[in-house]
Amino acid sequence: MNNLSEYITKARPDSKESSIKVYMGMINKFTQHPNFVDNPADETWIEDTEWIDHFLGEKNLKNSTLRNHYVALMVYCEGLNGGKYSDKWQDLDEYLHFKKKVDDLNTNLKNQPSITENQSKNIPEKKEIEDLLKKLTPEIRKIRNGMNHYTGIASIENGAERTKTFMAYVLISIYMSMEVRNEIATLNLVGRREYNKLPEKDSNYIIVEKSKTSIIRHKYKTKDSKTAGGVKETILSKELRALINAWIKWRNISKGEKLFPDLQVKKDDATSSTAELNLTKFLQRFFDKHLQKKVSTTLLAKMNIQDKISKDTLETLNKISDTRGTSISTITTTYA
């Protein structure tokens, strides 16, 4: 497994470095195989599906985690045998074994309740999130109308708490009104003129103009604009625009800087690898403090999106998709 990173890149050429590291972390667990112990350059361990199944079975992993490990094994197998654009791996016994494991686990997960009864006790309803925002609004109004982040603060601790409260309020408001992922942690503040003059647009931007504020994403999830359907530009609502403009002013964020500087990875920080991960951890701590419940950014997005999608329409699209043998995305873009 000396060429592990190379194999993963061959199999998944569009993956981010963080995704490659996750795959490497899972695959490296199999270095306990006797073949590998005897010879670190030996790659035949991947064929020993019986040992692999037993090894993973002893770990008592959740089905979702177990599936991820089998997906990682599929990726390794693909990369080892030519990569994404090769057909050498498609009929290999070990690859088909891992694929069946993934398919079976996907079916199992699909038939399971999305959350258990114990988990539901720790997950808030949408109204609880909305009530929290209402509760915080008077405090946010005082912060917005008061002194900025750098001046007139009685103590560093007080200033830090104000920053956390204001930033959480802005982030939650974004998630509750926009269908975005954690890439908002990477937004660069620019003006429209500066954006148009950029020689390479290879990041995510928030553009503030006199009449509107827009978020333009060139990188989202694990893909870039070339493979994920183009650049995504979203114009903010009047209320959200005013809130973000107030945050920019209070936090003294200049053009060319990150919209959320406190989420960026510090050079000497060895605990977090990305701003996106810092965003997730920050909101988890915030909700734990104020609601004593677990809230993920995915849950926030679900709360925002589920009211906008008719279940009847979704069921109809699924039936059409199954009958026609094509994806829902193709149906909506071609026939709707």
Predicted pLDDT at 17: 82
- The reply to whether 223 and 86 lie within a common domain is no
Listed residues 85, 111, 137: the one ending a domain: 111
Q: Are residues 23 and 127 in the same domain?
A: no
**Residue 227: what pLDDT?**
43
Rounded to the nearest integer, the mean pLDDT of the chain is: 82
In the block, which residue shows the tokens 């070990």? 94
Residue-level pLDDT at 329:
66
State residue 296's pLDDT score: 81
Which of the listed residues 111, 138, 164 is the one where a domain comes to its end? Answer: 111
pLDDT band at 50 (very low <50, low <70, confident <90, very high): very high
Do both 100 and 126 map to the same domain? no
Does residue 142 sit within a domain?
Answer: yes
| Residue 321 pLDDT exceeds 50 | yes
pLDDT attached to residue 298: 82
**Which of 111, 137, 163 corresponds to the end of one domain?**
111
User: What pLDDT, on a 0 to 100 scale, did the predictor assign at position 220?
Assistant: 63
Same domain, 124 and 85: no
CA geometry: angle 207, 210, 211, nearest 5 deg: 90
Q: Residue 259's pLDDT is what?
A: 95
Please choose, from the candidates 100, 84, 68, the residue with its C-alpha nearest in 3D space to the C-alpha of residue 14: 84
Q: 147 or 275, which is more confident?
A: 275
| 188 contact partners, CB below 8 Å, separation of at least 6 | 203, 204, 205, 206, 256, 257, 258, 259
Q: Are residues 83 and 149 in the same domain?
A: no
pLDDT of residue 121: 61
On whether the CB atoms of residues 129 and 300 are closer than 8 A, the answer is yes
Q: At 308, which amino acid appears?
A: K
Give the separation between CA 264 and CA 184, rounded to whole angstroms.
Answer: 11
Residues 127 and 107 in one domain: no
Question: How sure is the predictor about 333, in pLDDT bands with cuts at 50, 70 and 90?
Answer: low
With CA atoms as reference, report the closest residue to 273 among 13, 17, 4, 12. 17
Residues 34 and 83 in one domain: yes
Tell me what pLDDT residue 156 has.
Answer: 43
Q: What is the DSSP string of 177-227?
A: TS---GGGGGPEEE-HHHHHH-S---SEEEEE-SS-EEEEESEETTEETTT
User: Could you tell me if 210 and 193 are in contact, meaning their C-beta atoms sit under 8 angstroms apart?
Assistant: no
Answer yes or no: is 255 within a domain. yes
Residue 96 pLDDT: 94
- Domain of 173 in residue numbering reads as 118-295
Listed range (102-116, 173-187, 235-249) with the worst mean pLDDT: 102-116
pLDDT at 245 over 60: yes
Q: Does residue 203 fall inside a structural domain?
A: yes
Residue 119, pLDDT above cutoff 50: no
Distance (Å, rounded) from C-alpha 168 to C-alpha 180?
Answer: 16
Tell me: do 41 and 184 sit in the same domain.
no
The pLDDT of residue 268 is 67
Does 126 lie in the same domain as 254? yes
Residue 240, SS3?
helix
Query: Any idea what DSSP says for residue 46?
Result: G
Q: Confidence band (pLDDT; 50, 70, 90) for 154?
A: very low
**235, 265, 297, 317, 329 from 310: Cα distances, Å:** 24, 39, 22, 11, 16
Domains in the chain, number: 2
Highest mean pLDDT range out of 46-50, 214-218, 271-275?
46-50
Give yes or no for residue 225 having a pLDDT over 50: no
Cβ pair 321, 327 in contact under 8 A: yes
Q: What confidence score (pLDDT) does residue 155 get?
A: 40
The pLDDT of residue 84 is 87
In a domain, 315, yes or no: no
Q: What is the largest CA-CA distance in the chain?
A: 68
> Are residues 92 and 31 both part of a single domain?
yes
What CATH number is associated with residue 217?
1.10.443
In a domain, 261, yes or no: yes
- What pLDDT does 120 receive? 53
Q: Is residue 88 part of a domain?
A: yes
**Over 60: is that where the pLDDT of 292 sits?**
yes
Q: Are residue 283 and residue 151 in the same domain, yes or no?
A: yes
Q: How far apart are CA 169 and CA 136, in angstroms?
A: 8
- What pLDDT score was predicted for residue 179? 80
The structure tokens 């270095």 sit at 31
- The residue among 144, 176, 175 whose CA lies nearest residue 162 is 144
Q: Which residue has the higher pLDDT, 181 or 263?
A: 263
Same domain, 49 and 134: no
Q: Which of 59, 68, 79 is nearest to 8 (CA)?
A: 79
